[in-house]
Structure 1
Amino acid sequence: MDPSRRSVLGAGLFSAAAVIPGWPDVRDRLEKVQADPYRRIGHADVQAIVAVTEHMSDMDDKFGGRIARPMSAAFLINTIVPALTATADDDVKNAVRSAAADHCYLTGYMAMDERQDALAQCYYGKALELAGAAGDHLTYCTTLRGMSVQAVDLGHGALAMRLADAAASASPQAGPRMLAFLTGQQAHAAAQTGDRTAALRYIREAEAAMERAESRAKAFGSYDPSALAYHTGQVRFELGDVAGSIESMELADRLREPVYRRTRVRYNAMTAERKLSMGRLEEACVDWGRVLDDYPHVQSGRCDDRVRIMLTSLRPHLGNPHAREVYDRGRPMLRGA
């Protein structure tokens, strides 16, 4: 039930030269499809799609993209695509397109987590088209930012910066939490390109926006002080402050909700890698031990990558009993080893 095998999406290699469509370009890009006269939907159907997408997002957070994406893709094919062709009032049509855009964005994120990066780009492209057709600025900006996250994760700093800037420019009236969400990513991308001045300016803007957001009543949103601390850590690391990046990553871990196991695996592994680079082997082993506590509970290609890096990094240190213990524990756990 993978849409890439049903001709809905096609995937080759990740493109670092991806075209970044502007809002006016996608606003009317979605092809008009023939309405199905035998099927009619209303707002209740849209609410069901939104609820399923939220449930899939929760599963992705808890178990990883490899578990959640097949179900998400099947729901897209079997339920959302027919809803997009159903007869409906104009407000319902826009609501369906918006819900479909959000679901495509989420499924793209899952594909990225699997390390199906080209497929993720295809989902993100469809999310942009659907968001434009629905007039949904929020999902459009969130998708562009997600594309920037993918690019920076793969080391394409210049592309990540263009995508982050496009996301920020397309959000004309962002509240403080959304502003922190966008400028935090701009800071990370700018730091990866070596633009120290811009990176520090953006991270200060993100910190100020987060302070304003946290001073208000709690609002729904995944970007929180833990996520900001992570971005601060990434900026510090990219700019050469490894010790400072470790402090920020440890703060992010203390602030993080315990349900986010995949995030803990990835970020604790990064912290361990940086500690090892500073000669703090035994501290790194403690962090890697925590990684291995969480790793069996998630199905994630990105987490597999971090455990693979762990094993490679520990091989020169197997004379140390702490390193040997973590290595021997982790080697049989690595998926696809």
Structure 2
Amino acid sequence: MSGPQPHRALPPELLASPEWREACRRRDFTRVFRLAKVKAGIYPSRIAALCGMTPSRVGEIMSGRRSLAHIDVIERVADGLRIPGAMLGLAHRPWEIPSPVGVQEPAPQLQSESEVGSEAGSSGSLDDLLALADGQVTRSTLTALRSSVEDYWRRDDQHGGAALRPAVVGHLRYVTQLMRTTDDTLRRDLHSLAAELARLAGWAYFDARQYSTARAYFTQALSLSRSYGDRLFMANVLSCMSLQATYDGHPADAVALACKAQDTARTVGDQPLVMSMLNMREAFAHAALRDAVACHAAIGRSRDAYERARGQEDEAPTWVRYFDETKLIVDTGIALARLGEATRAEPLIAEGLRREKTDQQRGRAFHAFWLATTQLQQGKIDAACTSAGLALDLSASIDSPRVAGHVHEFQRRLTPHAGERPVIAFEQRMREVLG
């Protein structure tokens, strides 16, 4: 059976129209499909054939009864309708990059630690060619790239990191190529940007629960930061790896990584806010091991370090400033919840949720899940289902397999209470939201 037939390019006037660009930027596929029909004459059955979807699903999307969030499907739509990747926040699509006649490009590959600083994949990508042709990096180039990284982190907070992976990896390859073509004066800054992009790529794959790939990118970030001597950023990457090890069922490794991160940070001098965050990562790992004594000791060290950091937050690295008093409170509650100390954990997590900004949707979804967990541990079925319902509603607007996994995990814990009214209502709502 043959695949979808190739589609010619969309009309230039449609691609250039503000209405189309805004629909793509928002990933409003209801509007995208309607515009494709009205402005380009591509009817639903044709859209379905081009994008590898069923006509009924396309109809549901066009009527607004269904949305698209999974990155693989979004990439299929981009390829089927020939929507340039940048319009949808994706890396350049393969069909946007002309291949040399008679030469087959190798598939892009993740750099191993030993390959950092070398070419990150195919030499024929548009970004690579532009970098090679220019060969110049200015301060304004660095400012623009840093702005992109800041925007990626903001979007990660608001909508989850899974959908960002192609764009982040594309930027990482671009910056890595620039490192090979620029002079020494800006190379350190490019190394710093590449390390941050590699950490962000690792985080995005971690959020997608693709732990092996995440670890490879974290390793790349660690190697890059070591190459230009930023030991505080090395501690930051080690802390990410510690958190992943906790999630991946390797809590002993998580403890070792968190302690190594602390040792690395100490070589730089007194960094109380960094140490507060790193001790909390250690507390998470001890909680996963059910080592209450070690967990409480790490929480105490985190709290003490935070008190020393008060008034000095502006002196801390920008990447750790998210760790404020609200984060300290809610993370303490989560560590206690992991230990099974639900009575002490519940008010802390509830207070953290009350304080959190409404645009931090993924964080709020996680914390609502943990609040529901503590309430379920105490037998508060009605309250637990209400809190889990908040996590469920928030998860509908973000692309985070980690959040979805937590919601499903909570639903499994409800099995002993399957006949109770709050549980029946929650599971019905779960079917409506997650399908």
2: CA distance, partners of 1:292 / 1:93: 45
Q: 1:260 matched to which residue of 2?
A: 360
**1:85 matched to 2:187:** no
Are residues 38 and 232 of structure 1, via their aligned partners in 2, closer, same or farther at CA, if it must alter by over 3 Å? closer
1: CA distance, partners of 2:377 / 2:280: 25
Q: 2:261 matched to which residue of 1?
A: 167
Q: Deviations over 1:187-242 (max 9, x none)?
A: 22223334433322221121122123234465651111222123312332343312
Of all paired residues, the percent bearing the same amino acid is 25
1: CA distance, partners of 2:111 / 2:313: 40
Are residues 191 and 217 of structure 1, via their aligned partners in 2, closer, same or farther at CA, if it must alter by over 3 Å? closer
**SS in structure 1 at match of 2:414:** helix
Q: 2:386 matched to which residue of 1?
A: 286
**1:332 matched to 2:432:** yes
- 1:133-172 to structure 2, matched below 5 A, reads 133-171=227-265, 172=267
**SS in structure 2 at match of 1:170:** helix
Q: 1:98 matched to which residue of 2?
A: 192
- Between structure 1 and structure 2, the one with the greater Rg is 2
**1:228 matched to 2:297:** no
1: CA distance, partners of 2:396 / 2:292: 38
**1:299 matched to 2:379:** no
Contact 1:84–1:96 (8 Å) recurs in 2: yes
2: CA distance, partners of 1:139 / 1:80: 18
Are residues 229 and 126 of structure 1, via their aligned partners in 2, closer, same or farther at CA, if it must alter by over 3 Å? same
2: CA distance, partners of 1:178 / 1:185: 11
**1:107 matched to 2:207:** no
Are residues 100 and 312 of structure 1, via their aligned partners in 2, closer, same or farther at CA, if it must alter by over 3 Å? same
2: CA distance, partners of 1:285 / 1:331: 14
2: CA distance, partners of 1:70 / 1:177: 32
Q: 2:110 matched to which residue of 1?
A: 8
Are residues 67 and 252 of structure 1, via their aligned partners in 2, closer, same or farther at CA, if it must alter by over 3 Å? same
Q: Which deviates further from its counterpart, 323-332 or 195-204?
A: 195-204
Q: 1:22 matched to which residue of 2?
A: none
Are residues 138 and 160 of structure 1, via their aligned partners in 2, closer, same or farther at CA, if it must alter by over 3 Å? same
**1:123 matched to 2:217:** yes
Contact 1:97–1:131 (8 Å) recurs in 2: yes
**CA apart distance, 1:280:** 0.6
Q: Deviations over 1:270-303 (max 9, x none)?
A: 2212312321100101101211221111000101
Q: Deviations over 1:80-115 (max 9, x none)?
A: 1221211212x4111100111011101111110011
**1:250 matched to 2:350:** yes
Partner amino acid, structure 1, of 2:297: R
Partner amino acid, structure 2, of 1:292: L
Mark the runs of 5 or more structure 2 residues left unpaired by the alignment.
Answer: 1-90, 93-105, 120-130
**1:319 matched to 2:419:** yes
Q: Deviations over 1:35-85 (max 9, x none)?
A: 9696122333222221111111111111111222221112222x2122121
The Cα RMSD (Å) is: 2.5
How many residues are treated as equivalent by the alignment? 315
1: CA distance, partners of 2:149 / 2:368: 28
1: CA distance, partners of 2:347 / 2:412: 24
Are residues 325 and 5 of structure 1, via their aligned partners in 2, closer, same or farther at CA, if it must alter by over 3 Å? farther
2: CA distance, partners of 1:31 / 1:296: 37
Are residues 323 and 238 of structure 1, via their aligned partners in 2, closer, same or farther at CA, if it must alter by over 3 Å? closer
**CA apart distance, 1:136:** 1.5
1: CA distance, partners of 2:336 / 2:357: 23
2: CA distance, partners of 1:297 / 1:5: 32
Contact 1:151–1:159 (8 Å) recurs in 2: yes
2: CA distance, partners of 1:315 / 1:187: 30
**TM-score, structure 1 as length reference:** 0.85
**CA apart distance, 1:176:** 1.8
1: CA distance, partners of 2:194 / 2:116: 15
Contact 1:152–1:160 (8 Å) recurs in 2: yes
Q: Which deviates further from its counterpart, 215-224 or 43-52?
A: 215-224
Contact 1:98–1:131 (8 Å) recurs in 2: yes
Partner amino acid, structure 1, of 2:257: L
**SS in structure 2 at match of 1:41:** coil
Are residues 37 and 282 of structure 1, via their aligned partners in 2, closer, same or farther at CA, if it must alter by over 3 Å? closer
1: CA distance, partners of 2:379 / 2:235: 41
Q: Deviations over 1:228-260 (max 9, x none)?
A: 123312332343312212222222212322221
Q: Which deviates further from its counterpart, 138-147 or 207-216?
A: 207-216
Mark the runs of 5 or more structure 1 residues left unpaired by the alignment.
Answer: 11-25
**1:57 matched to 2:159:** no
Larger RCO: 1 or 2 (CA < 8 Å, sep 6+): 1
- 1:165-204 to structure 2, matched below 5 A, reads 165-171=259-265, 172=267, 173-204=269-300
**TM-score, structure 2 as length reference:** 0.67
